[in-house]
Amino acid sequence: MGTVILIALLAFIINIPFGYLRNKTRKFSARWFLYVHLSIPLIIAARLLSHTDYRYIPIFILAAVAGQILGGRIEVNL
C-alpha cells in the first residue's frame, strides 16, 4: 500500500507544474493537450516498475487530476 501512496503522490506533484502551464495556454490547443498528457508515461512507468496492480489506476488518475486542478489555480506574482 505504501507504493500506491508514493505513486499517487508522484502523480499529484508532477502534475502541479503541468496544471499551471496548462492554465496559461489556449484550451484544447496542442500545448494544452501536451501539458495534460505529458505525465502519463511517467506514472505508467512507475506503476509497471513497482509491479503495482492495475486496480489502483483510478487512484493515480484522481491524484493526477487533483495536481492539474491545483496547478491551474496557482497564481505567481513576480
Q: What pLDDT is attached to residue 75? A: 83
In a domain, 10, yes or no: no
Compute CA 62 distance to the chain's CA centroid, rounded to the nearest angstrom. 9
Say what the pTM is: 0.91
Residue 41 scores a pLDDT above 80: yes
In a domain, 4, yes or no: no
Residue 49 scores a pLDDT above 80: yes
In a domain, 17, yes or no: no
For the chain, the average pLDDT equals: 95
Domain that holds residue 64: 23-78
Contact of 67 with 12, CB cutoff 8 Å: yes
Q: How many domains does the chain have?
A: 1
Contact of 7 with 46, CB cutoff 8 Å: yes
Contact of 63 with 8, CB cutoff 8 Å: yes
Percent of the chain topping pLDDT 70: 97
In a domain, 53, yes or no: yes
Which amino acid type is present at position 40? Answer: I
In a domain, 14, yes or no: no
Query: Which grid coordinates are listed for 76?
Result: 505567481
In a domain, 73, yes or no: yes
67-77 confidence digits (pLDDT tens): 999 999 998 87
